């Protein structure tokens, strides 16, 4: 936890992710990343920067078929209120639209619901559990499928909802979150496309690159976050 908090503090200070009197909604999917983010933010609030409020929001993609009781107990122990947003996202994506590549539509619908509920609850920021590996994978996906050099940012202002999206775990490696979350109540991912997405392929590609070219992930990350380390046409 100490390493994660140190890297979170670096991201917060370098990108001004948290400010006094912020009301932050944590997008809580029930996966290891979002659960780790919630715990880390609660620790950050307790020991480093107490002057912001935290709530958790979970979007139920299955229209009531998912059991959130373990998640509710987890949040109660942390003394963080949990709001569950009902939705029929999976029905729209897989039954009505029958998307062959469902991730983009699902993500857009899910985040729209999350941001709207956050705004309704008086939040000015939404925190997502994206980590360092996510940043690199997104960069590769953008390169291969869009033909451009792009990835998400540490902080993004959404003018339509007047919400700022922050990613406090931006400098944290996935392996550290996996270690932290061993005893967390990680929810089963009910998505039919789980482990069969283009992102999963990008993850496997990075593993292969790291095996053949040690430190390749570190160099990719460094190239992405340092704006002066490029020489493009």
pLDDT digits (tens, 9 = 90+) for 43-71: 999 888 878 999 999 998 887 778 899 99
Closest to 176 measured CA to CA, from 223, 225, 131, 221? 131
Identify whether 230 is part of a domain.
no
Task: Tell me the sheet residues that pair with 84.
Answer: 58
Identify whether 233 is part of a domain.
no
Identify whether 94 is part of a domain.
yes
How many domains, in total, are found in the chain?
1
Q: What is the pLDDT of residues 147-192, one digit of tens each?
A: 989 999 999 999 989 999 999 999 999 999 999 999 999 987 776 6
pLDDT (0 to 100) of residue 194: 66
The boundaries of the domain holding residue 96 are 2-225
162: domain CATH number? 3.40.50.620
pLDDT (0 to 100) of residue 196: 67
pLDDT (0 to 100) of residue 192: 66
* Angle (CA) 91 97 152, round 5°: 90
Identify whether 231 is part of a domain.
no
Identify whether 92 is part of a domain.
yes
Identify whether 20 is part of a domain.
yes
């Amino acid at each position: 936890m100490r390493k994660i908090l140190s890297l979170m503090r670096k991201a917060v200070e370098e990108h001004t992710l948290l400010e006094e009197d912020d009301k932050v909604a944590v997008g809580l999917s029930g996966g290891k990343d979002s659960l780790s983010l919630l715990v880390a933010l609660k620790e950050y609030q307790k020991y480093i920067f107490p002057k912001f409020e935290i709530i958790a929001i979970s979007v139920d993609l299955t229209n009531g078929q998912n059991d959130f009781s373990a998640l509710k107990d987890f949040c109660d122990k942390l003394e963080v209120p949990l709001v569950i947003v009902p939705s029929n996202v999976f029905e729209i994506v897989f039954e009505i639209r029958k998307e062959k590549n469902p991730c983009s539509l699902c993500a857009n619908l899910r985040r729209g619901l999350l941001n709207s509920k956050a705004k309704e609850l008086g939040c000015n920021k939404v925190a997502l559990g994206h980590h360092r590996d996510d940043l690199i994978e997104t960069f590769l996906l953008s390169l291969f499928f869009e033909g451009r050099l792009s990835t998400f940012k540490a902080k993004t202002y959404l003018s339509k909802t007047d919400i700022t999206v922050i990613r406090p775990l931006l400098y944290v490696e996935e392996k550290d979150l996996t270690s932290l979350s061993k005893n967390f109540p990680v929810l089963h991912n009910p998505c039919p496309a789980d482990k069969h997405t283009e992102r999963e392929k990008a993850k496997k590609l990075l593993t292969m690159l790291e095996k053949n070219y040690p430190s390749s992930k570190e160099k990719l990350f460094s190239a992405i976050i340092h704006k002066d380390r490029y020489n493009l046409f």
